[in-house]
Structure 1
Amino acid sequence: MEPTVNGEARVLATDAALDLIAEIKRDHPEILFHQSGGCCDGSSPMCYPANEFMIGDSDVKLGEIGGVPVYISASQFEAWKHTQLIIDAYRAAAACSRSTTAARSAS
């Protein structure tokens, strides 16, 4: 896998996402992101303690954001291989997710 799409990184993070990653890493220094091909909550990139998530043979490393590796399932990568994943974060109600994802075509 090429680390870029048309010369651009496969995964980027906004300043808000990088700030949140730094905040999380203060309490949990070893984390990773995983984007599955599932539905519902699994449709968003999920952040896990690195020692609590098993990277499988069918996972693809897209790159790193804020010093944190970002993986995607092989089936999802196949569907998104021509896109760039942009990780963003925003404040929301306490019980809601604080992150969102945008994928844009790099072609």
Structure 2
Amino acid sequence: MTVSETTPEQVLVTDSARELIASLKGEHGPLIFHQSGGCCDGSSPMCYPAGDLMIGDVDVLLGTIADVPFYMTRSQFEYWKHTQLTLDVVPGRGGMFSVEGSRGLRFLIRSRVFTDTEIAVLRAAGRI
């Protein structure tokens, strides 16, 4: 097996989150996710229409979920790089700037720490 075939995904998506993303795409067009680390919304995953958030050199692309890129700031990534994130959706009010907020739902991150083997593969692939 090659590294690319065994490299674990750094961000996953649940079926319920995938369904909400599809609905939001129908309403807003292409989207982008950014794992917030800001003061106002804690560490909520934020969903924006593509182009509404400037992505720069300080941002890391963790992966693409449901055809939507998922980013995090590099400084925050240093804390999370040993963790696999799963985007889920739950009832409630999320971040005030995230597009799902008006639906009475919010995106939520669930996480697990990568195994030592997965971390070694991610390092070999240059992902962490």
Do they superpose with TM above 0.5?
yes
* Counterpart position of 2:17: 17
Runs of 4+ aligned structure 1 residues displaced above 4 Å come to 93-97
- What is the RMSD computed on CA atoms of the aligned residues? 2.1
The SS at the match of 1:41 is coil
Deviations 1:29-86 (A, max 9, x none): 2110001322341411100111111002100000011000000010110111110011
Structure 2 residues without counterparts, runs of 5 or longer: 94-101, 116-128
Higher mean Cα deviation, 97-106 or 68-77? 97-106
Q: TM-score scaled by structure 2?
A: 0.72
**SS of equivalent to 1:33:** strand
Aligned pairs (5 A) from 1:61-72:
61-72=61-72
User: Amino acid of the residue matched to residue 75 of structure 2?
Assistant: S
Q: Any idea what SS the aligned residue of 1:51 has?
A: coil
- The structure that is strand-richer by fraction is 1
CA distance in 2, matches of 1:22, 1:95: 14
DSSP-derived class of the 1:25 partner = helix
The answer as to 2:84 corresponding to 1:76 is no
Instruction: Give the distance between the partners of 1:95 and 1:19, measured in 2 at CA.
Output: 13
State the TM-score, normalized to the length of structure 1: 0.85
Instruction: Name the aligned partner's letter for residue 113 of structure 2.
Output: S
C-alpha distance in 2, partners of 1:82/1:43? 16
- Report % sequence identity: 51
Please, which runs of 5 or more residues in structure 1 have no aligned partner?
A: none
Q: For residue 109 of structure 2, what is the aligned residue in structure 1?
A: 101
Question: How many corresponding residue pairs?
Answer: 103
The whole-number CA distance in structure 2 between the counterparts of 1:40 and 1:102 is 20
Change (3 A) 1:19 1:58: same
Instruction: Give distance in 2, aligned partners of 1:39 and 1:97.
Output: 20
Contact 1:31–1:68 (Cα < 8 Å) also in 2: yes
